[in-house]
């Protein structure tokens, strides 16, 4: 294992912590009063101490262990490993929950450390927040749009109760984490909890942006922040980029780690419904394992788009660091192996890091995805254009494909197919 991969794994906890807090940063929007005042930022007179921010975390509602977790100094609670990074520069005296309170650039919400600045900047980058140009929406008028152009009324009357319930379940996850000490399970459990509850509220009520539920926005902010922290761990000089963007209120630029595969072909080349269902489960399992590689094992980014032929992970520009080639090589080998093992060699994916049309990183995620889909469509026409070690190829040498199940290769002298059990019929027996 290369040194840079080891470094990412060693600092995995701080990457995951930033990601999780990015998911939680807008917990204050899971409240009815947000939509009474959605054009007016909620300003309070409580001062800047996190313990006093009762407007977002009411002390009479939140479980004790959740409150203690959020006010804990960053390195002491969630993270349990030694680090090879300048954690003092990154977090300073910020609390774990600091970005929940300090992610806007006005008093008393101004970020105090790069940890808080990263989430504040990525929040702005994703949301392009409302500046008060539109009239106030009433809670009774809040609508969620669908991809088909229709709008449905969003029920917001019980958001505060849902937030209380969210805190209780989050407290249970913290207790379980303290017992198991499994960052992987904790991360996935928090993600599922955020998806369940944050899908009940909108990130934005203005048309046409009202198709974004709170979960979509928070997941994206966590993903953006995760990639920024990963970029800094891979290349310590990236802290200068963070400082420049902080001073100029600019935007971070990213690339996509793209995994392309012939998913439709894999699913439809079957003769029975049972085979279709089985292959669907196989493909789902392969994709879950690929996500685990990129999001947890070598934590450089998150999945932000997928369909039946492509997976797009938001990642830093790996070409900017000299160690980037090692990371791409390691990830590619592991992803190809998962597809090979899971599909028994039938699926051979295209794996690459893709930027904009000019090959450079971009702040516009939509254009990155569009370009990635076009490239994958072309590359999948020539799936064997790259030199990849295929250990299963020798097993298929001098063998015929079974004409019945078309799933496996067998020796022409075999009496039965090892996969479906059909007999090997000789040519003269066919008539």
> What's the CATH number where 423 sits?
2.20.28
Strand-pairing partners, residue 423, are 416
* pLDDT of 315: 96
Strand-pairing partners, residue 362, are 254
Task: With respect to residue 386, please indicate whether it lies within any of the assigned structural domains.
Answer: no
Residues 6+ apart with CB under 8 A from 113: 90, 91, 92, 93, 94, 98
Domain harbouring 351, CATH code: 3.30.70.270
For 352, phi and psi rounded to 5 degrees? -160, 160
Count of C-beta atoms within a 10 Å radius of residue 322:
10
Q: How many domains does the chain have?
A: 3
Residue 19: domain span: 3-248
CB-count exposure of residue 133 (10 Å: 0-12, 13-18, 19+): exposed
Task: With respect to residue 13, please indicate whether it lies within any of the assigned structural domains.
Answer: yes
Q: Looking at the structure, do residues 83 and 107 belong to the same domain, yes or no?
A: yes
Task: With respect to residue 369, please indicate whether it lies within any of the assigned structural domains.
Answer: yes
* pLDDT of 369: 93
Q: Looking at the structure, do residues 229 and 271 belong to the same domain, yes or no?
A: no
pTM summary value: 0.81
Q: Looking at the structure, do residues 119 and 218 belong to the same domain, yes or no?
A: yes
Q: Looking at the structure, do residues 153 and 8 belong to the same domain, yes or no?
A: yes
Of 228, 248, 268, which residue is a domain's last? 248
* pLDDT of 8: 92
Torsion sign (Cα): 181, 183, 185, 186: positive
Task: With respect to residue 56, please indicate whether it lies within any of the assigned structural domains.
Answer: yes
Outline where DSSP puts E strands in 114-251.
143-145, 151-153
* pLDDT of 122: 92
Q: What is the CA radius of gyration of the chain?
A: 25
Q: Looking at the structure, do residues 242 and 258 belong to the same domain, yes or no?
A: no
* pLDDT of 142: 53
Task: With respect to residue 261, please indicate whether it lies within any of the assigned structural domains.
Answer: yes
* pLDDT of 391: 61
* pLDDT of 163: 85
Q: Looking at the structure, do residues 95 and 181 belong to the same domain, yes or no?
A: yes
Q: Looking at the structure, do residues 141 and 233 belong to the same domain, yes or no?
A: yes
* pLDDT of 276: 92
Task: With respect to residue 293, please indicate whether it lies within any of the assigned structural domains.
Answer: yes
Q: Looking at the structure, do residues 234 and 105 belong to the same domain, yes or no?
A: yes
Q: Looking at the structure, do residues 51 and 200 belong to the same domain, yes or no?
A: yes
Q: How far apart are CA 300 and CA 257, in angstroms?
A: 10
* pLDDT of 368: 93
Of 218, 248, 278, which residue is a domain's last? 248
Q: Looking at the structure, do residues 266 and 354 belong to the same domain, yes or no?
A: yes
Q: What angle do CA 349, 352, 354 make, to 5 degrees?
A: 135
Q: Looking at the structure, do residues 321 and 292 belong to the same domain, yes or no?
A: yes
Q: Looking at the structure, do residues 150 and 296 belong to the same domain, yes or no?
A: no
Of 248, 265, 298, which residue is a domain's last? 248
Residues 6+ apart with CB under 8 A from 77: 69, 96
Q: How far apart are CA 52 and CA 361, in angstroms?
A: 41
Provide the Cα torsion 37, 41, 42, 44; round to 10°: -140
Task: With respect to residue 298, please indicate whether it lies within any of the assigned structural domains.
Answer: yes
* pLDDT mean for each 10 residues of the chain (431 residues): 88 91 86 52 37 54 82 62 67 83 77 89 75 42 49 65 89 89 90 89 53 83 95 91 89 94 90 90 96 96 94 92 89 93 87 91 91 91 60 64 62 64 48 37
């Amino acid at each position: 294992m290369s040194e840079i991969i080891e470094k990412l794994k060693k600092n995995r906890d701080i990457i995951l912590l930033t990601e999780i807090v990015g998911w939680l940063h807008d917990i204050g929007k899971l409240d009815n009063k947000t939509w009474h005042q959605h054009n007016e930022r909620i300003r309070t007179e409580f001062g800047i101490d996190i313990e006093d921010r009762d407007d977002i975390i009411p002390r009479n509602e939140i479980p004790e262990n959740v409150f203690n977790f959020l006010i804990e100094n960053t390195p002491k609670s969630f993270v349990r490993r030694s680090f090879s990074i300048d954690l003092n520069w990154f977090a300073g005296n910020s609390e774990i929950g600091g970005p929940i309170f300090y992610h806007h650039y006005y008093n008393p919400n101004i970020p105090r450390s790069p940890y808080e600045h990263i989430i504040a900047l990525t929040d702005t980058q994703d949301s392009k927040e409302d500046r008060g140009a539109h009239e106030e929406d009433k809670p009774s008028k809040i609508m969620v749009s669908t991809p088909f152009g229709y709008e449905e009324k969003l029920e917001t009357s019980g958001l505060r109760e849902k937030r209380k319930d969210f805190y209780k379940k989050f407290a249970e996850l913290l207790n379980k984490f303290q017992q198991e000490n499994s960052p992987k399970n904790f991360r996935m459990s928090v993600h599922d909890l955020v998806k369940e509850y944050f899908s009940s509220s909108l990130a934005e009520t203005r048309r046409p942006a009202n198709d974004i539920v709170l979960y979509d926005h928070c997941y994206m902010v966590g993903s953006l922040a995760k990639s920024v922290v990963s970029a800094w761990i891979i290349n310590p000089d990236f802290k200068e980029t963070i400082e420049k963007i902080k001073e100029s209120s600019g935007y971070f630029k990213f690339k996509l780690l793209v995994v392309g595969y012939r998913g439709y072909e894999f699913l439809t080349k079957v003769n029975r419904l049972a085979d279709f269902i089985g292959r669907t489960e196989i493909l789902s399992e392969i994709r879950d394992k690929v996500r685990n590689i990129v999001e947890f094992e070598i934590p450089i980014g998150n999945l932000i788009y997928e369909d039946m032929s492509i997976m797009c992970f938001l990642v830093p520009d790996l070409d900017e660091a000299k160690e980037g080639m090692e990371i791409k090589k390691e990830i590619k080998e592991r992803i190809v192996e998962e597809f090979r093992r899971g599909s028994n060699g039938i699926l051979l994916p295209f794996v690459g890091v893709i930027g904009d049309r000019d090959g450079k990183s971009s702040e516009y995620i939509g254009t990155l995805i569009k370009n990635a889909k076009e490239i994958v469509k072309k590359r999948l026409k020539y799936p064997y254009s790259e030199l990849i070690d295929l250990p299963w190829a020798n097993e298929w040498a001098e063998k015929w494909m079974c004409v019945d199940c078309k799933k496996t290769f067998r020796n022409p002298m075999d009496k039965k197919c090892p996969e479906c059990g059909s007999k090997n019929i000789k040519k003269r027996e066919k008539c």
